[in-house]
Chains A and B, each alone.
Chain A
Amino acid sequence: MKVFSLFFCLVLLASFLACKKDELVIKPYVEEETWGFKIPSTFPQPDYKFENNEQTRLRFELGRLLFYDPILSLNNTISCASCHAQEHGFADHNVAMSTGINGVQTTRNAPSLSNLAWYPNFMWDGGVNHLEVQPLVPLTNPLEMGESILGILSKLNASSFYKNKFKEAYDVDVITDQKLLQAIAQYTSMLISANTKYDQYIAGKVDFTTSEKNGLTLFRNNCVACHTEPLFTDFSYRNIGLDTISEDLGRELITQNPTDRRKFKVPSLRNVAITYPYMHDGRYFTLSILLDRHINGALDTESTDPFLLSVSPLSPTEKLEIIEFLKTLTDFYLIGDPQFSQP
């Protein structure tokens, strides 16, 4: 009997030891609450697949440290979070243009960050084709963080703190740009917005007010061609007829194709109510003005999206109802989740 209980204990202990490590491995979505990247039930398959960058908690925490650390900027004053603040839906602090190192002004509005793992490309002009290489732009742009990759690597490799962290997370003795970028992607890929009032309404967990319901109907009749549910963007580039004089040529800078003149990526509308001002240059500060100009006042330029010109104007009541609906896209879970906050 004694022998058998000993046997039993040993087998139990053995299986525990054997399987403990597997807990951090990325797994397909399951109902129980375990930490890790999960595809929300209403979402499509993500673009980012953690290839050569298997998700672990240590790597995520390292990415989080880096996201908040100004060591990544030339004069150690600005971090990613400086312009992508959690309480603002990972957009800037309600300013039109962000401020880079030494007070220089950037040329475009810092976008809100969420559901980045589903993005086929990045930036207002879509110039960046992969989540991992996106940080290269703000890190090295002289108007943003202004640092060089070699400068960052030399600072990180001179830090015993970061050398230990990268050793723990990636088992490397020397910090490389690949590991730096992969660690940041571990964090940014986890900024998932799928638990707004809208999502809960779709899941049948809460009810909408009459205005919100009317707003959703109006939205589906007028907006989903570009702001497609559930990500609220179709990732296309469109000229929405803002003007014919601004210098920023948008997508044309990447494709060199004049038909892409002043086209910008359709932004997701998740957290839209708290991430004003709007448009690539932050020209509109309220949803009301935005709707007036965007839906009711698009200019007929040579490459304005024809759909926008055909949309019938919104009445004042319809405008208010759409705004009520847009407010349901604020993700209080994402902007309050402590696992994403400054470490």
Chain B
Amino acid sequence: MKSNIFIFSIFLGLFLSVSTSCKKKTTEPTLEPTPLAVEKGIVTIDLSHKWGFTNQTDFVLGTDLIHPMTNDTLNFTTFKYYVSNFKFKKADGTWYTQPESYFLVDLSTPSSLVLTIPDVPVGDYTDVYYTMGVDSTRNVSGAQTGALAASNLMFWNWNSGYVFLKAEGTSVNSSTGTFQFHLGGFSGANNLLTEKYINFSNNSLTVSANHTSTAFLQVNPGWLWHSAPSVSVLNMIHMPGTDAATMALGFYTNNSIILDHIVE
């Protein structure tokens, strides 16, 4: 009897092992195959938006703001833009690249103004690189989710591609009383993708285990009109092209995003 039970338990063992042996092989590929546990911390990027070059004021939706170069009075109802692909650089030249880092900054949603980058390996970082806009791959890869979902209404349905930046509002200087700038473009002459970086110079950003380090940045949307004309001349952009490039690159390529301070 005992031996029967013994044999039976062997068969039961066999049964279990075979029945689990050819399960679906759809385990998610691990992005970072790290054999050794690396200690990690969190980095947050805290964005505050300012207006004006001297005598700066806070950039607030629904208030009249006078542009220092065009002298237009602009009252923004919408200001949204994509920031993506965060990369962290150490003094020794090594990099940490954050996978799936896509953020839609939306001035009407305060929580979107703090970008959280989890799982950054501990260490001292000299620079943080990031991209203004959404990389070309994600513009051509079908239905996306999260910050890139079409339901965020930052996707051109009829001419596939992301609106990288949306600025809308009213202005007495515009012939229609309004302005609507939908800026984007990821390929060829219309490619607006711009990599920017924050340099911490001597004062590197230290990431410690299970701790949050924060970089406080100031963003100045006024740079959109660095080369673009007054809204009395141009009050609407709805597709990639020269106008979109002039306006977006004014904001993307200049000193529009600056480091204020860091808290570690």
Residues of B within 8 A of A127 (CB): 158-160
CA distance A254 to B144 in the complex (A): 22
Apart from A133-B155, A141-B158, 15 more pairs, CB < 8 Å: A7-B14, A15-B19, A15-B22, A18-B20, A19-B22, A21-B23, A51-B142, A127-B159, A128-B159, A129-B139, A129-B161, A133-B157, A150-B151, A178-B149, A180-B143
B-to-A contact residues, CB < 8 Å: 4, 7-8, 11-12, 14-16, 18-24, 26, 139-145, 149-151, 153, 155, 157-161, 239, 241
> Per a CB cutoff under 8 Å, which of B8, B26, B144, B153 touches A54?
B26
Convert A47-84 into 0s and 1s, putting 1 for each residue whose CB lies closer than 8 angstroms to a CB of B. 00001111000000000000000000000000000000
Which B-chain residue is minimally distant from A128 (CB atoms)?
B160
> Per a CB cutoff under 8 Å, which of B24, B143, B145 touches A133?
B143
26 contacts between A and B (CB under 8 A): A3-B7, A3-B11, A7-B14, A10-B11, A10-B15, A11-B15, A22-B22, A22-B24, A25-B24, A51-B142, A128-B157, A128-B158, A132-B142, A133-B143, A133-B150, A136-B150, A136-B155, A136-B157, A149-B151, A176-B149, A177-B143, A177-B149, A178-B143, A178-B145, A182-B143, A254-B159
Convert A8-34 into 0s and 1s, putting 1 for each residue whose CB lies closer than 8 angstroms to a CB of B. 001101110111011001000000000
Which A-chain residue is minimally distant from B242 (CB atoms)?
A256
Residues A18 and B22 in contact in the complex (CB < 8 Å), given A129-B140, A132-B142:
yes
Residues of B within 8 A of A18 (CB): 18-23
Residues of B within 8 A of A17 (CB): 19
Residues A6 and B11 in contact in the complex (CB < 8 Å), given A130-B160, A132-B142, A181-B142:
yes
Convert A170-188 into 0s and 1s, putting 1 for each residue whose CB lies closer than 8 angstroms to a CB of B. 0000001110111001000
CA distance A244 to B19 in the complex (A): 69
Number of A-B residue pairs at CB separation under 8 A = 106
User: Which of B11, B24, B150 is most buried by chain A, counting CB atoms within 10 A of its CB?
Assistant: B150
Beta-carbon contact of B155 and A153 below 8 Å: no
> Per a CB cutoff under 8 Å, which of A11, A13, A14, A51 touches B141?
A51
Closest CB in chain A relative to B240 CB, distance in Å: 8
Convert A159-198 into 0s and 1s, putting 1 for each residue whose CB lies closer than 8 angstroms to a CB of B. 0000000000000000011101110010000000000000
